């Protein structure tokens, strides 16, 4: 008689969980995978980047533009989101090309160590606007939205008018 009670107790403890939990964990897995993909997806864009600040200063001097330096890293999720939401936008691309010389610096590249030190970069993304002499005009640390970025670009045109 005791064996029968033990077997029925074991059968009851091996009952299937409620279908809600299966649905919950499957949904959680799908959403997590989607978010991981979304965080690291960065579409190609038509911004013509350089990674040489010296040549960018020369170009800026002759084209009467300022320089935008975008400090990033391959592993930087907010950088990729900014590339996707800001730098892939047609309005932002036109504004970048008309107002600044864009420079993209990967902080993990060995050649970028001096620039990282010079501008005291401690976080990515960091966006810095400098004049052709290298003087910092404006900067933003962290991911910035398109409207804020376009506002920063508009200031570059105003800055050049006064100098």
65 and 36 in a single domain? The answer is no
CATH number of residue 140's parent domain: 3.40.30.10
6 and 69 in a single domain? The answer is no
77 and 122 in a single domain? The answer is yes
Handedness of CA 27, 75, 83, 158 (dihedral sign): positive
* pLDDT, position 36: 72
17 and 74 in a single domain? The answer is no
Q: Give 149's contacts (C-beta < 8 A, 6+ positions apart).
A: 86, 92, 127, 140
* pLDDT, position 19: 82
Domain count within the chain: 2
* pLDDT, position 125: 96
In a domain, 153, yes or no: yes
Full residue range of the structural domain in which residue 81 is found: 53-162
58 and 135 in a single domain? The answer is yes
* pLDDT, position 12: 56
Cis, peptide link before residue 97, omega less than 30° from 0: no
99 and 142 in a single domain? The answer is yes
Mean pLDDT by 10 residues, the chain (163 residues): 54 68 87 74 74 94 94 91 90 93 95 94 95 93 94 77 51
Strand order from edge to edge, sheet including 126-130: 100-106, 66-72, 126-130, 136-141
- Tell me whether strands 66-72 and 100-106 are parallel, antiparallel or unpaired: parallel
76 and 135 in a single domain? The answer is yes
In a domain, 45, yes or no: no
128 and 73 in a single domain? The answer is yes
Question: CA-based Rg of the chain, rounded to a whole angstrom?
Answer: 26
Strand spans (E) along the chain: 66-72, 100-106, 126-130, 136-141
In a domain, 29, yes or no: yes
71 and 132 in a single domain? The answer is yes
In a domain, 145, yes or no: yes
Mutual angle of helices 90-99 and 146-162, in 10-degree steps:
20
32 and 91 in a single domain? The answer is no
**Phi, psi values for residue 94, rounded to 5°:** -60, -45
In a domain, 92, yes or no: yes
């Amino acid at each position: 008689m005791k064996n029968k009670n033990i077997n029925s107790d074991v059968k009851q403890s091996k009952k299937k969980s409620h279908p809600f939990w299966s649905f919950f964990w499957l949904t959680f897995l799908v959403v997590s995978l989607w978010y991981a993909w979304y965080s690291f997806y960065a579409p190609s864009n038509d911004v013509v980047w350089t990674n040489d600040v010296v040549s960018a200063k020369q170009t800026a001097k002759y084209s009467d533009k300022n320089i935008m330096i975008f400090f990033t890293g391959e592993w930087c999720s907010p950088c990729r989101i900014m590339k996707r939401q800001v730098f892939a936008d047609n309005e932002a691309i036109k504004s970048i090309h008309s107002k600044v010389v864009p420079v993209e610096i990967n902080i993990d590249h060995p050649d970028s160590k001096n620039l990282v030190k010079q501008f005291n970069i401690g976080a990515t993304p960091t966006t810095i606007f400098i004049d052709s002499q290298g003087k910092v005009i404006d900067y933003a640390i962290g991911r910035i939205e398109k409207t804020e970025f376009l506002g920063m670009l508009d200031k570059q045109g105003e800055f050049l008018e006064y100098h």
